[in-house]
A = this chain, B = another copy of it.
Amino acid sequence: MRKLLDAAMVVFARRGYHAARVDDIVKVARTSHGTFYLYFSNKEDLLRALVSEAGEVVAALDSGLGPVSGDREGWKELRQWMGQFSDAWQRYAPVLRAWTDLVMSDPELSAQAHAAAGGVASTLAARVAAAGPPPGIDPNAAAEAVVAMVDRFHQLRQFAREPVDDVALDTLTTMVHRGLFSSARG
């Protein structure tokens, strides 16, 4: 079962959800079709298991972000969280990709992922709200935007086969920190 999940990650990474044939997964896992259907009721079910797993990791991220102040300390806090997010994303990149391939047709899957992402977003929103957001900033929309940005930024870099390096993470962090947390102005 672990073997199948890992194999699925590999195959989803290579070909995406739709192009991934059960046959491929089974071959990589060095098992048989029968075994596949012993553990998962269908291909979708396998993805759901993977999303579930990724969801736990993502959910863990919301405890990884402490209060964010407007000064250098706050920046560091945010930067460290950004690093965690980036690591988690990269680890589960194939799952996210497969998830993207399927969301539209499977509402349940959508809900599952929404719940996971929701936790992170609400923690982030709370931090924004606590820091006393600049005028014109809606904490919830802002939090959603940050998650959106980081997620899609990674995706784009992946498409382009370019790494997400420190320069990139620093830039994202600075943008968010200045944009949402450093209320003091000259």
Contact = CB atoms under 8 A, between A and B. Distances in A.
B178 A156 contact: no
A149 B138 contact: no
A42 interface: no
Interface string A136-151: 1110011011111101
A interface, how many residues as a size bin? Answer: 35 or more
Contacts of A177: 179
Task: State the main secondary structure of chain A at its contact with B.
Answer: helix
A176 interface: yes
Nearest to A176: B179
Interface of A: 15-16, 18-19, 97, 100-101, 103-105, 110, 114, 134-138, 141-142, 144-149, 151-153, 155-156, 159-160, 167-168, 170-180, 182, 184-186
26 contacts: A18-B18, A19-B105, A100-B101, A110-B159, A134-B174, A134-B178, A137-B171, A137-B175, A138-B167, A138-B168, A138-B171, A142-B171, A144-B153, A145-B149, A145-B168, A145-B171, A149-B152, A152-B155, A175-B175, A175-B176, A175-B180, A177-B179, A178-B178, A178-B182, A184-B186, A186-B186
